[in-house]
Amino acid sequence: MTKTRRVLALFLIMAMLTPLLYACSNSTPSTAQNYLRLWEARDYTAMYELLSASAAAKISREEFVDKYVNIYDGIGLTGLTLAAGEVSEDAFGNRTLPVNVQYQGERFGTMDLTFTLPLVEERTGWKIDWSPALIFPNLDWNEKVRATAVYGRRGEIFDKNNELIAQNIYAPTVYANPSKIGDTAVFAAALSPLIEMPAQDILKKLEGKTGQDTLVAIKIYDIGALAEETKAAVAQIPGAGVDESSLSLIRYYPFGKSACHLIGYTGVITADELEKKDPADGYTDTSIVGKSGLEAAYESVLRGKRGYQIYIEYESGGKKEILYEEPAENGQDLWLSLDIKIQQEAERLLTAQLSTGMRGSVIVMDTKTGFVEAMASYPGYDPNLFRSMDQETWDELNDPNGGRPLYNRCTSGLYAPGSTIKPFTASLALEMGKITPTFVFPQKIVNNQWTPVFNGVEWGPPPIYRYKAYSGDVNLRNALIHSDNIYFAYAALMCGEDAFNSYASRLGLGEAIEFDLGTATSQLHSDPEAGFPSARILADAGYGQGEMLITPIQMASTFAALGNDGNIPRPRVVQSYGQAGEGIADYTMTETFEPSVWKSGVVSAENLSLLVPILRAVVTEGTGRSVDVEGMGVAAKTGTAQLGMQREKLINWIIAFATEGDNHRLVCTTLETKSGEGDNERMVITRDLLKFSH
């Protein structure tokens, strides 16, 4: 290699090793090099010493340092790198240096910016003619850089007919515009009596916002709660107004109490709830979350995903330039099988029929699909109350003597099923050959009481009771029509403990039925390990008492097997969920739920052909006469479970379903009443819902 080539190669190597940061021309003042080095090191105090006199006159050292620290920390800056270009000089001798800067941050990744570093020559040498544009190119004096979360809207909830039953809506909001307010004290004094808010509280909301051209929410009202006269009076105060379209987005339940237990409500996350959330999900201590019902069960679907924005804010407020953005993602909407019209009718009937002290629930379901059209628990509550609930209202809702309105009896109430279990006891006994359609009860009944005799030995007290005597043989048909406890106690005893346990397991007793909401666990025994403590408890289980407990939603689904080829459908109320587009036709469905079976083959086709006509006869000849609806071929079973030492409380059941035509509606009514009450009420509710249409 020649000497000339060696020199050239050495020069090239040295050039490559020279940092880009200092790739300035020989004419670049050392001030620029020092400033860039200090900037990269984030030594803001030393940077300030290189500012021009005019720049230093506009900002103090403390303000300068604070500005950099606050902005860089606020956006989450973790590092920066710089590369300088060539200095240029204007006709007046002022010089500028283009600098490419890359900001690095954990949240935003990288941000590439181009700055123009202005240099002026002063008596003491070259200085940086600094302005906020050396933090972000379009940042001006007195403007701010904001880094803030951007929240996606929570998904809304629709019924089967596209009726919104949980929605996001802007609430009426009295606001103040500080740029149009003269004396804030005078303003607060004028507004205070109109909105019934202390002037001191109004002033507190305006703190630090003097002169800003922005809208400050002063008081948020519930939908329909702000009178027109108040709106007009507020509008007369300079700087005040009412907004109903942009300021205060709230969760609103337009049907009030209707479907409250099913839909649930939302509220601010608690510290305990926040601790259990995955940090990656982006929840904060101000997040709104589902607290009960579908709002809670489908929180991960409904919740909007948080986005992030870094932007320059005008001195007067408002966004000047978005520097970085992660778009928020709206939550997904739920589409239910619920029909709000049927739901309202169910609630109207419960309210109208139940007198003081009565409680109850009703479920309307399709026997073939398990889809729920209505689910009402009485008493209920208005979920809109939870936006601004006072202690008195909270205490009323939680008063143990107030009917427990927050309690969902459909999914959480555990009741003895009473005689509604008898068709299934019959199915087991028929399956095992312990009874036949012509089998007649063989033992002695005295005064509607039976003391079992086995192997020549009497059971001993207490005997088993039936409601009343009836004409004809004590066979399967008559026993079901007249709801004879004695017959089904005998059938259970004939089947035996092991077989009854096995069949109960096939029915799902001992499990919590799968549903969109959590459900209480049903039981056959109070102690599953111990089993039946006596033959008497086994006999009682044959007619739905003893230690047997079940929720209305599970009992309704179990009974639906009689109209679904012997298969217990999995109950559902959420049919699908998806992401909204411009309109209903533009939805992208994420998941659609098809009908499915929870427990299959619990009643054979042969037994169905025998039992369903008898249940139809319960309506035409027996205890269910009041629920017959022309053209539906209603089949039903009533049930009455006695509670308390003196049997002073009753659980009144009736489950009825259509057997004719294309109507697959099932209605399950469960009432908590005193002894002697509830029979007529359960019939009216069930019949009217069977035939209800709109």
Are 458 and 601 contained in the same domain? yes
Name the residue range of residue 31's domain.
18-141
Are 285 and 426 contained in the same domain? no
Q: Are 318 and 214 in contact (CB under 8 A)?
A: yes
For residue 440, the domain's CATH number is 3.40.710.10
Q: With residue 690 as reference, give the H or E element that holds it.
A: helix 679-691
Q: pTM of the entire structure? A: 0.85
Are 93 and 204 contained in the same domain? no
Are 135 and 198 contained in the same domain? no
Domain assignment present for residue 392? The answer is no
Beta bridge partners of 88: 96
pLDDT at 582: 65
- Residues sharing a CB contact under 8 Å with residue 179, sequence separation 6 or more, in sequence order: 211, 212, 213, 214, 239, 316
Q: How far is CA 601 from CA 522, 563, 568, in A?
A: 19, 12, 8
Domain assignment present for residue 622? The answer is no
Are 613 and 509 contained in the same domain? yes
Q: How many helices (H) and strands (E) does the chain have?
A: 23, 30
Are 330 and 225 contained in the same domain? yes
Domain assignment present for residue 388? The answer is no
Domain assignment present for residue 265? The answer is yes
For residue 83, the domain's CATH number is 3.10.450.100
Domain assignment present for residue 12? The answer is no
Domain assignment present for residue 172? The answer is yes
Q: Are 500 and 545 in contact (CB under 8 A)?
A: no
pLDDT at 80: 96
Average pLDDT, 10 consecutive residues per value, the chain (694 residues):
40 38 49 95 97 97 96 95 91 89 94 96 92 97 90 94 96 92 94 96 91 87 92 96 90 96 94 90 87 97 92 88 94 97 98 92 98 98 89 88 92 97 98 97 94 75 90 96 97 96 98 98 94 92 96 99 98 95 75 97 98 98 93 96 73 97 95 90 97 90
Residue with tokens 């509550």: 381
Are 535 and 578 contained in the same domain? yes
Are 224 and 163 contained in the same domain? yes
Q: How far is CA 582 from CA 268, 579, 585, 586, 588, in A?
A: 29, 10, 8, 6, 11
Task: Report the candidate in 541, 552, 574, 498 with the shortest Cα–Cα distance to residue 682.
Answer: 552
pLDDT at 59: 97
Tell me if residue 459 falls in helix, strand or coil.
coil
Q: With residue 96 as reference, give the H or E element that holds it.
A: strand 95-105
For residue 277, the domain's CATH number is 3.90.1310
Are 44 and 172 contained in the same domain? no
Are 232 and 313 contained in the same domain? yes
Are 582 and 439 contained in the same domain? yes
Task: Report the candidate in 419, 415, 315, 418 with the shortest Cα–Cα distance to residue 361.
Answer: 415
Are 68 and 181 contained in the same domain? no
Task: Report the candidate in 622, 626, 631 with the shortest Cα–Cα distance to residue 659.
Answer: 631
Q: How far is CA 246 from CA 91, 168, 173, 332, in A?
A: 51, 12, 9, 21
* Domain end marker among 334, 357, 392: 334
* Domain end marker among 315, 334, 353: 334
445-470 pLDDT, tens digit per residue, is 999 999 988 766 677 778 999 989 99
Tally of domains within the chain = 3
Q: Residue 103: what are its φ and ψ, rounded to 5°?
A: -85, 140
Q: What proportion of the chain, given as a percentage, has pLDDT over 90?
A: 76
Domain assignment present for residue 317? The answer is yes
* Domain end marker among 141, 165, 193: 141
Task: Say which amino acid occupies 663.
Answer: N
pLDDT at 581: 73
Domain assignment present for residue 378? The answer is no
